[in-house]
A and B are shown apart, each in its own frame.
Chain A
Amino acid sequence: MEAATLTSRTHLADDPQWRESQRARLHELQQDLLAEGAVAGQYLPELQARAATWPE
């Protein structure tokens, strides 16, 4: 499928303000999870190792 034929209604996902807004909400969720006792760092190295293999 050619790129030109790929129509999108996902325009919000290309809006920097919307991405920043979601980023803030996800950060707030992180803070809440930490405050509730979630433990950070257990999975991060494995996740980052997998992420390093993802094609750009």
Chain B
Amino acid sequence: MNRPRSRRDFLLDSGGVTTLSKNRDLLLDYLRMLEIQFDGAFLLPTPILGEIHTGDRRIDVITDRLLKAIGGSDAELEPVAATWRRAGELRTEALQHSRNPISTGDAVIVALAEERSVRAGVTIITGDKKDMDLLVGLTRRPNIAVDVL
């Protein structure tokens, strides 16, 4: 008898999308893991859409296909004002603990992760562990993981 798959949301930042698009084998295995192991969904805040195209057609064509599969064009996944406001709070607090700039996109991802973590575990797929760990720590939510590709 198969074990029930645990529900989990996967939030992609721009580094996560780009890394998956550059490596089709990795993208394939990530999709397989999500399918085999989780009742999972990929979520992508719309501000990230402005950061993920590289200008390299070979990579961008995979990105576009991934976006189409995620359903990013649905626009319903756009964060609301409350998420933006929370992102601003997290970014301001993070800047007090970091010597480096904290990107607005990272703060939006973590604000959305905080929101989603009320319903299920969340994994943030990223290329930038340091800033994400700092922001996630500020939420004090125990069920948000950071997966660095």
Contacts and interface: CB of A to CB of B under 8 A. Distances in A.
Given A3-B118, A51-B33, A55-B143, A36 B24 contact: yes
B29 A26 contact: no
Given A7-B80, A12-B77, A22 B42 contact: yes
B29 A44 contact: yes
A10 B116 contact: yes
A48 B46 CA distance: 28
Contacts of B8: 54
Interface in A30-55: 30, 32-34, 36, 38-44, 47-48, 50-51, 53-55
A33 to B, nearest CB: 5
B118 A6 contact: yes
B119 to A, nearest CB: 7
Interface of A: 1, 3, 6-14, 18-19, 21-23, 25-30, 32-34, 36, 38-44, 47-48, 50-51, 53-56
23 contacts: A1-B139, A6-B118, A9-B80, A10-B76, A10-B116, A11-B76, A12-B74, A13-B77, A14-B119, A21-B71, A22-B41, A22-B71, A28-B69, A29-B65, A29-B66, A38-B27, A42-B26, A44-B32, A51-B147, A54-B121, A55-B121, A55-B143, A55-B145
